[in-house]
Structures are given as structure tokens and as C-alpha cells.
Amino acid sequence: MEKTRILIDTDLGDDVDDAAAFMLALRCPELELVGVTTVYKDTEKRAEMVRELLSLYGREDIPVVAGCGRAIVERRFDEKEEPIQYGILRERRGPSERETGIRAEDFILEELKKDENLVILGMGAMTNLAMACMKDPERMKKAKVIAMGGAFLSSRPEWNIICDPEAAAILLETVDDLVMLGLDVTKYLKIGRDRLDAWKKRGDACMDYFLEGVERFQEATGYPVTFHDVLLIACLLDGQVVSLRRGQFAVELCGTYTRGTMADRSNYYEISPKIEGNFRFADQVDLERFFAILDSRF
């Protein structure tokens, strides 16, 4: 079987969807995870948490590189703030920070050099990916990148973009083969109590660890469980989970209320405007297909 090789850039440790995306990816023999980079705030602690999750699947062989914790321009958050779910790891085993001696953007570029067909999955702020774009724009121009981020059907800003709008702008300007799965579609991927209860009954150590994270996250935020990042994996498994549309967007970098929003740059006066560039975004998600994947493979 021809495997799709993937590299995941993640902010695992706060919301629970990143961990779910890893779990699904690790259970799919058609996907090969070649490496992981972490982004946003305390990336060393996020890297520790990724290693712990991988170790539950016996995959300590997958390299994990801590990347940029700080946005390219702004300094509006505490870069050393601990991820919401980090307490679980601290209780399981003390801190075990590990220097990999390589920068995340160099790791990404090295992996792309080895395999031009590598698919990069962006699951957090786009800082590491933008750093790779600035270091080697030619290589990143040709890379295949699928990222969760943005809102294209509404004028609201979305978290992964707000965390580093300049990084998202650089990614959009550099990468030709870029697909974005925005909040417009991922917000529908809510996980109800029935599924969480069924997962709890499985008696599976990996699932129990994940559900402990869900509890921590919900205690801390009160937010519903929404599988945003899992959609990146699902659409690799079944291309019909989302429908994609070509678009011409720029990231709004100014504006009191609009910083981080996606500005539609296509010709408003045309009924079917000519779209320049290859950028695509998801305009619909097939929930039946998504939950079929989840229920059979997660």
C-alpha cells in the first residue's frame, strides 16, 4: 500500500482535538507520521506531551521538535504559559525536557528535502511553517500544506490565525498548494456525551489518557469538545469529507476588530470572478462521512 507521509505541526496540550488527530493518524496504516513540530507558547512542554502520547502507541521512534513559542511580530501572550493539560503529564512522570538541537523550521525543510510529496499538516498557529517559508521560500512554495485555520464564509477571526496573523499571511503568500480547513466547517465536528461515554467503556489505556485530557480541558474552559484538527486526518483518508473551493484571500493584519480575519480579494463585481492562485478552502463538510471514519477507526 502506498502510504501518505505526513508531518504534523501542533499546539497539542490546550484543546483536545490535536491529540485526537494524532490518535486517528496513528491508527491508520495508510498514513506514516514522519515527525512532529510544536508551536505556540511553551513548545518544550507541548513536545513532552506529544512524546508521551506517541509512547502510548509505542512510537518513540517518531522525532518531535519543539518550535517557536512566540508569534513573529506580536508579544501579546506569555510564551512560557503551561499548556492546559500539562498537569496530567506532571502527575504521570516528572518533567523530562529534551533538547533536539534542531530548529523546527530546519526539521520541516529537511523532511521536505527527503520527500517532496510529504504532506504538512498545520494544527496550530502557523509560526513554524512561516519560519520555514522565510528560510527557504522556493521549497515551501512547492510543499503540500493542509492547515486548520481561518474563517472564509464569515468575517470573524479564527484562533490559529489570531495567535500569529503575520505567520498565516506569510504561509498564504508563499505556499502554492495550500488547503485551509476553516472554522466554517470544523465547528460542526462536535463530540457529544454519547460518544465520550462509549469511548470510556472501551477500557483502552490510550483512550483513557485522552479522556483525562478532555476532562481537564472542559474543567478549565467549559468549551464543548470539537474535533477541528481531526478533519485534517479525515480528509486524507477520504477526499470527499470536505468540498474545496478555490479562493483569493489575504490575512487582514490591521484593524481593531478585523485583525486576523480573511479578506476576500476576488473581484466583487464579477458573478464568477477569476481566481488567481491555487489556494483552496473547505466550504462544506460531510458529517456522515466524517463520523463514519471516526466510528470505525478512532
Least CB distance to Ca ion at residue 228 (A)? 7
User: With CB under 5 A, what is the number of residues at the site for Ca ion?
Assistant: 5
Residue whose entry in the numeric block shows the C-alpha cell 493539560: 85
CB of 269 to Ca ion, least distance (A): 37
**b vs e for 238-265, b when ≥16 Cβ sit within 10 Å of the residue's Cβ?**
eeebbebeebbbebbeeeeeeebbbeee
124 part of the interface to Ca ion, by CB under 5 A? yes
Position 11 contacts Ca ion (CB under 5 A): yes
Nearest CB to Ca ion, comparing residues 105 and 229? 229
Binding mask 226-255 for Ca ion (x = CB under 5 A): ---x--------------------------
Contacts for 275-279: CB closer than 8 Å, 24+ residues apart:
275/246, 275/247, 275/248, 276/248, 277/176, 277/246, 277/248, 278/176, 278/177, 278/178, 278/246, 279/172, 279/178, 279/180, 279/246, 279/247, 279/248, 279/249
Q: Work out the angle at residue 35's Cα, subtended by the Cα atoms of residues 33 and 36, and round it to the nearest 5 degrees.
A: 110
State the minimum distance, in angstroms, from the CB of residue 218 to Ca ion: 16
Within 13 Å, how many C-alpha atoms sit on residue 168's CB side? 30
158 binds Ca ion (CB under 5 A): no
Nearer to Ca ion, 184 or 194 (CB): 184
Q: How far apart are CA 71 and CA 163, in angstroms?
A: 7
Site string for Ca ion, 80-119 (x = CB under 5 A): ----------------------------------------
User: Taking CB under 5 A as the criterion, which residues in 16-35 touch Ca ion?
Assistant: 18
Mark residues 171-210: x for contact with Ca ion by CB under 5 A, - for none: ----------------------------------------
14 in contact with Ca ion (CB under 5 A) = no
Q: State the residues that interact with Ca ion by CB under 5 A.
A: 11, 18, 123-124, 229
